[in-house]
Amino acid sequence: MSEHTPKAQANVRGPRATKAVIPAAGLATRFLPATKAVPKELLPVVDRPVLQYIVEEASRSGINDVLLITGRGKTSMVDHFDRQPYLEARLEAKGDMERLAAVRGTSELAEIYTCRQGEPLGLGHAVSYAESHVGDAPFAVLLGDEFTAEDDPLLPQMLDLQARTGGIVLAFIEVPDDEVNRYGIASVESAEPDLADVDNVVRVTGLVEKPARDQAPSNLAVVGRYVLPGTIFEAIKRTKPGSGGEIQLTDAMALLLTEGTPVHGIVYRGVRYDTGMPLGYLQAVVQLASQRTDLGPAFKEWLKAFVAELDGPAGAA
Ligand code: G1P
C-alpha cells in the first residue's frame, strides 16, 4: 500500500475508498462512425486506449478493484485487461520483452469486474448498478473519457479528503460562462478551518446539473472524478429524471447535500485530458505524444514544421 493509506492521514474518520466504478455504457455518438463497433473508451491516445489511462490513474491512487459498467457491444473493453497467452508467448519467443511487459502490464493493473447497464438512462442510473459490488463502503467514480496528468494527480487527495469527511468529494475546474450548460455546476463557500491543510478545497452549498448560463450559481464545473459514500445508492433510488430526462448523479448528490451530507470539492488547476469530444481527443493525443521520450522529439520537430507551414507567409511575417 502507498503513503495514501488512511493511517497516514490526520483526522481520519472512516475507511479510504478502495474500489472504483467506471461508467462506460454510453453510445459515443460524437465519434461515429469510429465508435460503431469500437467502444470510445478504447480509442487510442498514442498507443494506449483512453480507458487504460483511467485504470492506471486508479491503480496509482491505491485502488485496484475496478468495476466497469458496460453496455452492448462493449465487451472488448474487458478483453483489454485480460491475459493474452498466445500473444505473450509470441512476443517472448521473439525476445520482444518491452512489448511483452506492455501487454502483461494491462492485466496486472487492477482486478476488473463488469456489469451491464441494460439501458443508458443517465449517470446516476449507471452508478446505481454498482450497489451490490461496493455495498455501503465509500467508492470512487471515474468517468471513462477524462484523466489527469500523471505527475499532477487529483484522485489521491480526493480519497484522503473523503476518508476525513465521510461525505461526498468532487473535483472542479473553472469553465467559461458559455460552457456552464455542459456540466454539473456548484455553489461553494470556504471550507471548514480544520481542512485548512487541504489545497484548493471548498465546501459545496448547492449543485445543479447543466444550468442555463443565467441560472448558473458559479463557474465551478464538476469534472469526472467523484468519491461517494454508500448512501448515494439510496439517494439515486429517490431521484427523479432530471436534465435530459435522465437520472442524474448530480441530483442524487444534491439530495444528500440538502439532507446534511458534507460535500466538498477540490479545484483542480493541473492538466486534464478530456477525450469525450473530437477536439479534446486530438489535443490529448498531441500533448501526450509530445511528452513521450521515444516518439516526442521527432513528433515535436514535425509538429513545429507543420504549424509553421499552416501559418504560411502571414505567420512568417
Ligand atoms: C456528466 C455529469 C456532469 C459533469 C460531467 C463531467 O455529464 O452529469 O455533472 O459535469 O459529466 O464531464 P455528461 O458529460 O455525461 O453529459
Tens of pLDDT, residues 249-276: 999 999 999 999 999 999 999 999 999 9
Render pLDDT for 189-230 as a digit per residue (tens, 0 to 9): 999 999 999 999 999 999 999 999 999 999 999 999 999 999
Q: Please, are residues 20 and 81 in contact by the beta-carbon 8 Å criterion?
A: no
Q: Are residues 225 and 272 in contact, defined by beta-carbon separation less than 8 angstroms?
A: no
**With bands split at pLDDT 50, 70 and 90, how would you rate the model's confidence at 11?**
low
Domain count within the chain: 1
Cα–Cα distance between 90 and 228 in angstroms, integer? 43
Q: What is the dihedral of CA 172, 44, 150, 171, to 10 degrees?
A: 10
Residue 308 domain-assigned?
no
Rounded distance between C-alpha atoms, residue 162 and residue 262, angstroms:
10
For residues 94 and 249, give the distance between their C-alpha atoms in angstroms, rounded to a whole number.
49
Q: Is residue 299 part of a domain?
A: no
Q: How far is the CA of 244 from the centre of ligand 1 (A)?
A: 12
Within a 10 A sphere around the Cβ of 21, how many other Cβ atoms? 25
Q: What is the pLDDT of residue 1?
A: 40
Q: Is the pLDDT of residue 45 over 80?
A: yes
Give the Å distance between the CA of 126 and the centre of ligand 1: 12
- pLDDT confidence bin for 4, thresholds 50/70/90: very low
Q: Give the Å distance between the CA of 97 and the centre of ligand 1.
A: 40
Give me 247's grid cell. Answer: 437520472
Confidence of residue 9 (pLDDT cuts 50, 70, 90): very low
- CB-based burial, 255-275: b 16+ in 10 Å, e otherwise: bbbeeebbbbbbebeeebbbb
User: For ligand 1, atom 1, which residue shows the shortest CA distance?
Assistant: 183
Task: Judge whether 316 lies within some domain.
Answer: no
Please check the confidence at residue 104 and state whether its pLDDT lies above 50: yes
Q: Tell me the sheet residues that pair with 112.
A: 66
CA angle, 274 as apex, 219 and 83 as ends, to 5°? 145
Ligand 1 centre distance from Cα of residue 128 (Å): 16
pTM of the model: 0.92
Answer yes or no: is the C-beta of 142 below 6 A from any ligand 1 atom.
no
Residue 271 inside a domain? The answer is yes
Residue to mutate, 143, 173, 257, ligand 1, most ligand atoms under 8 Å from C-beta: 143
Between the CA of residue 167 and those of 15, 28, 239, 293, 304, what are the distances in Å?
A: 12, 31, 18, 41, 47
Q: Is the CB of 223 under 6 A from ligand 1?
A: yes
What is the per-residue pLDDT for 210? 96
Residue 64 covered by a domain:
yes
* pLDDT band with cut points at 50, 70 and 90 for residue 73: confident
CATH number of the domain to which 96 belongs: 3.90.550.10
Residue 302 domain-assigned (yes or no): no
Domain that holds residue 244: 7-276
Residue 15 lies in a domain: yes
Taking the centre of ligand 1 as the mean of its atom positions, its distance from the CA of residue 145, in whole angstroms, is 11
206: in domain: yes
